Structure 1
Amino acid sequence: MCFFSFFTLLLLLTIGNVSAHGRDTHLVETINRIKPSIIAVGTYHPLSRPAVKFYGTGFVISRNGFAITAEHVISAIARNGEMGNLYAFFPDTGNSIKVSAKLISKNIKYDLSIIKLKGSGFDYLKLGDSSSVKEGQSIALCGYPYGPVFGLHPTTHTGIISNISPMVVPVQNMSLLSNRMIKALTDPYYIFQIDCTAFPGNSGGPLVLPETGEVIGVLNSAFIKITKENKQISTGISYAIPINYVRELIESIKKK
């Protein structure tokens, strides 16, 4: 009886290890496949100091250079009057690769922007279907959490979909609600809460399925704790916009 129990336990542990190894293999392959399509979104002006300014992450979705990032990333560049210097920077593989870009379309409500990179022949990511995503599902997030501080090397973090709920804007009291906020409350849209590590530099980065690399979301925001030493610490609570809203934005462009 004891021998049988020990054998059964050993078999279960072996099956578990094989399953975990399979998941790890998928993720390793996925990371290698998606990294060439992950871009840093920023500005470049050779006469400025610094010449390069980083604002967020993005990802290429077509061979002819269409890419996605967060609308608030593009708005930050616009506020600084630097849209004419918009650039995409590709992962550092020994040579610095930067490509000029222009804004094609944006949606403020969903915090999404489509930009077009100059040129063609780009590696790109496949869009998935966010309507089939479930709470508890494994995900991976790839981007530049600290910008170019450690070089342009995309960083991947993993986690799960913690919650799928309507997007709301928290305020301390009703008097702080603007007309835009009230409208958003009457017409909410769903957003993914995820538990993986993320920082402001990840904004606009892709949320992908570890097994396939298909994009199911775009990072929107991350809750950060500031220490007494003024250091940023991830709280492990972040939000992503479902990728089907990107599909809607693409379709709206096609109709124009």
Structure 2
Amino acid sequence: MKALPYTFFFALLSCLVLAWVSTPCRADDTLAQVVTRVKPSIVGVASLEKTRTPPMRFVGTGFVAGDGLSVLTCAHVIENMLDANPGEVIGILTGQGQTAQFRHAKVQALDAEHDLALLRFTGAPLPALTLGDAATVREGQAMAFTGFPLATLLGLYHVTHRAIISSLTPVVIPSENAQRLDLRRLAQLKKAPYIVFQLDATAYPGSSGSPLYDPETGIVYGIVNMVYLKGLKEAAISAPSGISYAIPGSHMQSILLKEK
């Protein structure tokens, strides 16, 4: 059998390289696939009072974790409802848009220091997101978060933002003057600060409770928090700072243990 000339192998190699270059695997394609996978696990947090108009009130975002019947969100998202009248109940919204369904939930645990809340809802479990090791997160690492920003204005539709970890910084709850130092702020100032993720991304009202995840794997490393932003809710909409914060997932791991 006659050996094939070297020019044949060179031409074949050139064709393979050309084909690979012409169809690159883009990061955007990976993120699009991950977003499709995580969306069923991201829910709205709402209250329902039948005598109110409208009866449903959206308050923030949460995501399913653990055994598929637990939702992690921020404590400040639900704290105003904890002392609500007996006719108001807490729940989650699954799906999106006009087809979103309300499912009753109860507060399983609260961690006010780290602004975390654990809800338990009824019915069939939902797909749970995986929590990663927050200690491995480094500055400059790419992230994404998905939630329902401005849902009271735009409706319950998933919105995804890209971000990078711009800093690992001690948490400080700002106060413009002494009159705004309530008991919660004073208690926080007495404790040693813990580290939070500072993000170069804009999170709008409604984003609180959104999972911060790896855009290539969907593994969750933090939860978006809006408490550490100065100013009023209206200012966050009209003049966003482009800086957001997230609570590291290690604190979420701790509160999840309380579901057992």
TM exceeds 0.5?
yes
Q: Which runs of 5+ in 1 are unaligned?
A: 1-10
Q: 1:39 aligns with which of 32, 37, 43?
A: 43
2:129 to 125, 130, 145: 125
* Shift in CA distance, 230/31, structure 1 to aligned 2, threshold 3 Å: closer
Structure 2 counterpart of 1:207: 212
Stretches of structure 2 that go unaligned for 5 or more consecutive residues are 1-16
User: Rg: which structure is higher?
Assistant: 2
1:151 paired to 2:129: no
Q: What is the rounded CA distance, in whole Å, between the counterparts of 2:199 and 2:236 in structure 1?
A: 25
Q: Give 1:200 deviation, angstroms.
A: 1.7
Query: Are the aligned partners of 1:55 and 1:76 in contact in 2 as well (CA < 8 Å)?
Result: no
* Corresponding residue to 1:249 among 244, 247, 255: 255
Could you list the per-position Cα deviations for residues 60-92 of structure 1 after superposition, in whole angstroms to 9, with x for gaps in the alignment?
A: 114441110000011022244368511100122
Q: 1:165 aligns with which of 169, 174, 185?
A: 169
One-letter amino acid of the structure 2 residue matched with residue 42 of structure 1? A
Q: Which residue of 2 aligns with 1:107?
A: 111
- Of 226-235 and 65-74, the range deviating more from structure 2: 226-235
Misfit runs of 4+, over 6 Å: 173-176, 224-230
Q: 1:115 to 1:56 in 2, by over 3 A?
A: same
Using a 3 Å threshold, how does the CA distance of structure 1 residues 92 and 182 change in structure 2: closer, same or farther? closer
SS of the residue corresponding to residue 123 of structure 2 reads: coil
SS at match of 1:149: helix
Aligned-partner SS, 2:206: helix
Aligned counterpart in structure 1 of residue 33 of structure 2, from 20, 29, 35: 29
The residue aligned with 2:11 is none
2:92 alignment partner, SS class: strand
Q: Percent identity?
A: 32
Q: 198, 202, 208: which one pairs with 1:197?
A: 202
Q: State the match for 1:220 in structure 2.
A: 225
How far is the alpha carbon of 1:106 from its aligned partner? Answer: 0.6
Deviations 1:224-252 (A, max 9, x none): 77799995332111111001101112235
In 2, Cα distance between the equivalents of 1:79 and 1:188?
28
Shift of residue 207, structure 1, vs aligned partner: 0.6
1:59: which partner in 2? 63
Classify the secondary structure of the residue corresponding to 1:241: strand
Give distance in 1, aligned partners of 2:43 and 2:163. 21
Q: 1:236 to 1:187 in 2, by over 3 A?
A: same
Pair 1:96-2:97 in alignment? no
Alignment partners' CA distance in 1, 2:46 and 2:97? 19
Partner SS for 2:33: helix
C-alpha contact 1:43 1:82 (8 A) present in aligned 2: no
Letter in 2 for 1:210: P
How does the TM-score come out when normalised to structure 1? 0.82
Equivalent pairs counted in the alignment come to: 239
Counterpart contact for 1:130–1:244, Cα < 8 Å? yes
- CA RMSD in angstroms, aligned pairs only: 3.0
SS where residue 239 of structure 2 aligns? strand
State the match for 1:71 in structure 2.
Answer: 75
The worse-fitting range, judged by mean Cα deviation, of 215-224 and 76-85 is 76-85
**Which one-letter code corresponds to 1:247 in the other structure?**
Q
Indicate how the Cα distance of structure 1 residues 64 and 170 shifts in structure 2: closer, same or farther if over 3 A, else same. closer
